[in-house]
Chains A and B, each alone.
Chain A
Amino acid sequence: MIALQTGKSLGLILCLECRATVRALDVRYPRCPRCHAHLHPRKPHSLALTTALLLCAAVLYIPANLLPVMYTRTVFDEEKDTIMSGVLVMLHSGSWPIAVLVFVASIVVPMLKILALVVVLFSAWRGSARYRTQRSELYRMVEFIGRWSMLDVYAISLLVALVQIRSLASVAVGWGALAFGAVVVLTMVAARTFDERLLWDPPP
């Protein structure tokens, strides 16, 4: 088998900010000649940072789903909605495409994201050589779909702003929404601190 040449084996560093290919110099803190960003052959402390952020996200995923995200008060009663009960309300009121959309964006996507990041993190840590292409694709999918989970946070913020009709009806935010927003942000940052090139590096 022909040994493939990589940036690392040739002494080339890719600047992650401006995508310039830079010949690695023998200085302590190299900077990109084009945009002056700090250069690292691999993202520093990638595995440790991603693991820490992912753990936080996984812990916060529990209150995000159990705590109410929204309280609706009308003259007749007061209701609290978690993310899941919000989906069920929409399903019963007949708007099933919206219910499916919210279910996928708020429940399926965050869970898949956490699981997918665990998979790529574990295989990068083990230096596994199998299914590399699939894992690379999985990681890129996580980066792509990550942002869509914020959908429910925006929907709630609009409901809060609109439904304040004096004594008739009002909507208040619950702490579940903050936990949920935190899960989305933490998983996004976790995906960004992960260096996908670690999936391809030959074991030392």
Chain B
Amino acid sequence: MSALIVCPSCDLAHCIGAAPSKERTVCARCGGLLQRAENGNIDAAIALAVSALVLFAFSNAYPLVAIQSNGSGRATTLLGAALGLYRQGHTLLASLVFFTTIAAPFLQITSLLYLLLPLRRRREAPGQRIVFRLLTRIRPWIFVEVFMLGALVALVRLAAFARVVPGVALWSCALLMFTLTALTSRTSPGQFWRWVEDRRA
């Protein structure tokens, strides 16, 4: 049995086999991604989401970096970066930083756990469709990896005139970055609905 799918990039129709593909398939015309290789283990996805949640907690509870100069020092947390902007009256910029580095990753992790945990027990979470659509809207706005690179730039600039001490949160943030990337690639929309349909069958 085969099915018809269309390319999301150029709308060309393709005939594909019914079995989920083991490797990525691309469009014959434009080279756009049709299907990615799915690693269909729901337990692995849940494990990744839980570790992401723990790393997220660490990243927020501990200081990110501290500087020391002439006997006085100062440390900041992840939230402190957004708060500093807020205190100087840049509310919009502060909310942008807050949303992309704290709110969006947190919402992604928690909404995924909300969807996947019941699914593992062959149930469906109430409001599954709404939470799923929220998840796909939030995903492009997770900027943890960009934040890490920005932190690197800030540290290099500071190192010129102060002693810079990396904090626990800097390392957990770096690990969070990799965990989130792995989590996102393992819970693509197509994969998520395949889990739902498997449970229904």
Contacts and interface: CB of A to CB of B under 8 A. Distances in A.
A25 interface: no
A9 B6 CA distance: 11
B4 interface: yes
A157 B84 contact: yes
Contact of A21 (B4, B65, B149, B150): B4
Interface stretch (B17-25, B46-54, B117-125, B128-136): B128-136
Interface stretch (B93-101, B106-114, B178-186): B93-101
Say whether chain A's binding surface is mostly helix, strand, loop, or mixed: helix
Contact of A178 (B5, B67, B90, B152): B90
A18 to B, nearest CB: 5
Interface in B65-115: 65, 67, 69-70, 72, 74-76, 80-85, 88, 90, 92-94, 96-97, 100-101
B149 A16 contact: no
A162 B132 contact: no
Contacts of A192: 140
A136 B12 CA distance: 13
A12 B6 contact: yes
A171 to B, nearest CB: 9
A35 B9 contact: no
A90 B157 contact: yes
A152 B153 contact: yes
A181 interface: yes
A153 B149 contact: no
Nearest to A7: B6
Given A6-B12, A185-B96, A177 B29 contact: no
B93 to A, nearest CB: 5
B153 A98 contact: yes
B160 A157 contact: no
Nearest to A135: B30
B84 A161 contact: yes
B74 A165 contact: yes
B151 A147 contact: no
Contacts of B65: 158, 162
Contacts of B154: 154-156, 158-159, 162
Contact of A162 (B31, B74, B92, B133): B74
Contacts of A98: 152-153, 156-157
A137 B13 CA distance: 19
Interface stretch (A54-62, A110-118, A196-204): A196-204
Interface string A19-37: 1110000000000001111
Nearest to B79: A161
The 8 closest A-B CB pairs, nearest first, are A154-B150, A7-B6, A161-B84, A200-B10, A161-B76, A158-B154, A155-B153, A157-B81
Given A9-B13, A199-B10, A200-B30, 9 more contacts: A10-B13, A36-B133, A136-B31, A154-B101, A157-B93, A159-B154, A161-B84, A162-B65, A164-B74
